[in-house]
Amino acid sequence: MTEPRPAGAVHVRAPGKINLSLAVGPKGEDGYHPLATVFQAVTLYEDVLAVPDEVIRVSVTGRHADRVPTDSRNLAHRAATLLAEATGIDAGVHLQITKGVPTAGGMGGGSADAAAALLACDLLWGTGLAREELGHLAAELGADVPFALTGQTAVGLGRGDALTPALARGRFHWVLAIIEDGLTTPEVFRAWDQLNSGARFAPRISDALMQALVAGDPRRLAGHLRNDLQVPAIELQPRLREVFKAFDETSALRALVSGSGPTVAALAPDHATALAIAAAVEQADVADEVLVVSGPAHGARLVESVRDSE
Ligand code: ATP
């Protein structure tokens, strides 16, 4: 039985992501690393219920909820505050977040909350911004937030926030190995800096990867998966070596660290094989949780809006 929804509440769902390719360039004068990345949204979601309230506040349940701040550091809280400021509205909201995406796992869970909160508050407050305007606010909140709004598969340049949709056919099946000792994105970039001091090159995406996506061919795609943050992530989280060893013993086509890690995503040839790989990795007892997901998945989307009269 589902819980009754409070009158006026808006329920929005946004996806977590994996990076099929993440090429990193040396830090620029603005302190940021130029990136060339290909995101794919997967079927692991954040649910945000926006309920009318006097003030802006956040509560969190679900996967790793105890590790997520509920004050103004929470990205969903910041998203609601930014929308209120940008539209000059004096309104409150209680954002009730149910987490499905691992926290500090390199899958953009906080970014998904921010994207979902932007859309939910826009609907709740009737501010009626166009998707493009929401996209601009999303980019102010973080490099991965615009992608959580659009979902599917997309190329991200700049800080990862200059998005172009990518053509991808069919479904790709992934096995996720989740490690609970999260890594923070800045520490992984610092480790990358140490390993690549003096590097001079511009990050780029391989044409072969884009062609494999168009063909919808997981075997071809596997050969072009790439993550420049993988080596520093493994250095910071040595448990990942055991995870890769476990995937090596299965029919996974290829495994790679997702974003800044430590989640490892392994590409399977089909859904049935993904289930068998997950069972084998579970058995090897190298990760805290093993999940099967697929991509691409939709971006932030309204699930339900409860009218006052109901
Ligand atoms: P990314 O890959 O986007 O860099 P991530 O997926 O590795 O990030 P998140 O779970 O998005 O990691 O969050 C990283 C940190 O941000 C957490 O450790 C947490 O303290 C803080 N944070 C702020 N808001 C949220 C939120 N709504 N959900 C999760 N973490 C949040």
Question: pLDDT by residue (tens digit) across 92-138?
Answer: 999 999 999 999 899 999 999 999 999 999 999 999 999 999 999 99
Strand partners, 290: 177
In a domain, 14, yes or no: yes
Taking 70 as the threshold, does the pLDDT of residue 197 lie above it? yes
Percent of the chain whose pLDDT exceeds 70: 97
Residues 285-295 pLDDT 10s: 999 999 999 99
Give the separation between CA 291 and CA 307, rounded to whole angstroms.
35
Residue 190: per-residue pLDDT: 94
In contact, 259 and 18? CB cutoff 8 Å? yes
In a domain, 303, yes or no: no
Q: Same domain, yes or no, for 129 and 37?
A: yes
262 cis-preceded (ω within 30 degrees of 0): yes
Largest CA distance in the chain: 63
Q: Same domain, yes or no, for 149 and 219?
A: no
Confidence label for 65 from pLDDT (cuts 50, 70 and 90):
very high
Strand partners, 38: 21, 155
Confidence label for 1 from pLDDT (cuts 50, 70 and 90):
very low
Q: Same domain, yes or no, for 184 and 158?
A: no
Candidate from 68, 74, 149, 190 with most ligand 1 atoms within 8 A of CB, to mutate: 68
Q: Same domain, yes or no, for 28 and 125?
A: yes
Taking 60 as the threshold, does the pLDDT of residue 309 lie above it? no
Give the separation between CA 280 and CA 264, rounded to whole angstroms.
15
Calculated CA dihedral for residues 141, 146, 149, 153, nearest 10 degrees:
-150
What is the chain's alpha carbon radius of gyration, rounded to the nearest angstrom?
19
Segment (H or E) for 192: helix 185-195
Last residue of a domain, one of 135, 166, 197: 166
Residue 90: per-residue pLDDT: 95
Give the separation between CA 98 and CA 90, rounded to whole angstroms.
26
Residue 310: per-residue pLDDT: 45
Residue closest via CA to ligand 1's atom 29 equals 110
DSSP 212-262: HHHHT-HHHHHTT-EETTHHHHHHH-THHHHHHHHHHTTT-SEEEE-TTSS
Catalytic residue among 47, 122, 144, 228: 144
Task: Give the residue numbers spanning the domain of 66.
Answer: 10-166
Give the separation between CA 252 and CA 272, rounded to whole angstroms.
12
Residues 262-304 pLDDT 10s: 999 999 999 999 999 999 999 999 999 999 999 999 999 999 8
296 cis-preceded (ω within 30 degrees of 0): yes
In a domain, 4, yes or no: no
Is residue 88 a known part of a binding site? no
